[in-house]
Amino acid sequence: MIVLNETVLKHVKIISTSDVIENGYVVIKNGLITEIGVGSPSIGFGSQIDLDNLIVMPGFIDTHTHGIKGFDVTTCKSPYDILTMSKYYAEHGVTGFLATTVSAPLDTLLNVCKTVEEAMSYWRSEYGARILGIHFEGPYINPEAAGAQNTAYIRFPNLKEFKNLYENCKGVLKQITIAPEVGGANEVIEYAKAVGIVVSAGHTNASYEDGLKAVEMGVTKATHLFNGMKRFHHRDPGISMALLQSPKVYLEVIADFIHLHPAVVKMVIDYASPDRVVLITDSIAATDMPDGVYELGGLKVVVQGGICKLESGSLAGSTLTMEKAVANIAKLGYSLSSIAKMASLTPIKSVNMENLMIGDLKQGYRADLVVLDENYRVVKTMVNGVFVYEK
């Protein structure tokens, strides 16, 4: 780890969400980007790091990840487990993430709130990726679309319980996945919207018409589009089509080319644009671990060839990392600026956290960035002007 109050990254290919600068430089002071330009800065600065024409992009933001390297958000008991996850995420270019649970008993979710809140209070730049808050994926979902969620813990939306969760989470709850067609969903959606929590539709069998109503009520995001949703049919398109067609809805995409065919990923991006597509990993504790047997929400998950499945054969999260998702999207022919939107800026916008000034490379933004080689492998990760990972 290197901590620098003032530094310049030079001889780099700078990728912002709106521009590409060849042979550029980035000046960083007190954790902020103070200058970006071509060539060399006009005046001398402190420490200078020559990156030999490597790529510099905004740090990746993962708004849907359950775990990594043996750690699972839902079962973490210590805030230091979450902080360790921050370190591991940074190795993959992630500079901010939402700690994501699966359906679980109320006491478990309350404990996750406490653990994540403590981890956020302890976090410093040198720990790694920013802990942006919590994403509850469930428990208010449709058991018929459970996927890898444990049906023992899925329940009807309960406004009293949800208010209890919100009040005990002390502001760290940022997003909840809910099936909008199940009984009691409307009340929870309305309340969540009123208190500023992003509502994402997922693990749902809702119809196209129900999907449109949900968007009117306050749903602004789709949880892993097409996965865990009523299957699309040309005479019965289902909620996935409603979410895709709604211009104010952000669309999570698992770009491992396992959950979605590459042609489907390309169709979604081309139709909705990078301004709406949110690249996620949906990663579980098996990420960066050997093939074997793992657990997710009390369910047995078998990992073979990096592919996670329940014993029934259903997909159960992923071992995808954000830099692999970026490399996959690059294979589809999209510009690096478009990819920077989908991996960084659009995710942070999808959870209404633009005020943090992260997700792009611009003057005045925080120096949260990733350095990549020509194959999109992470060489260095910086958070708040601090190198938290170096290969």
Q: What is the pLDDT of residues 73-89, one digit of tens each?
A: 999 989 999 999 999 99
pLDDT class of 2 with cuts at 50, 70, 90: very low
Which residues are marked as active site? 282
pLDDT in tens, 238-271: 999 999 999 999 999 999 999 999 999 999 999 9
* 160 burial type by CB count under 10 A (0-12 exposed, 13-18 middle, 19+ buried): exposed
**What phi and psi values does residue 161 have, to the nearest 5 degrees?**
-65, -45
pLDDT-based confidence at residue 46 (cuts at 50, 70, 90): confident
Which of 162, 180, 71, 82 is CA-nearest to residue 128? Answer: 82
CA distances from 59 to 41, 92, 130 (A): 23, 10, 10
Cis peptide before 139 (omega within 30 of 0): yes
The domains found in the chain, sorted by start residue, are 2-57+362-390 (2.30.40.10), 59-355 (3.20.20.140)
Give pLDDT, residue 45.
63
Tell me the pTM. Answer: 0.97
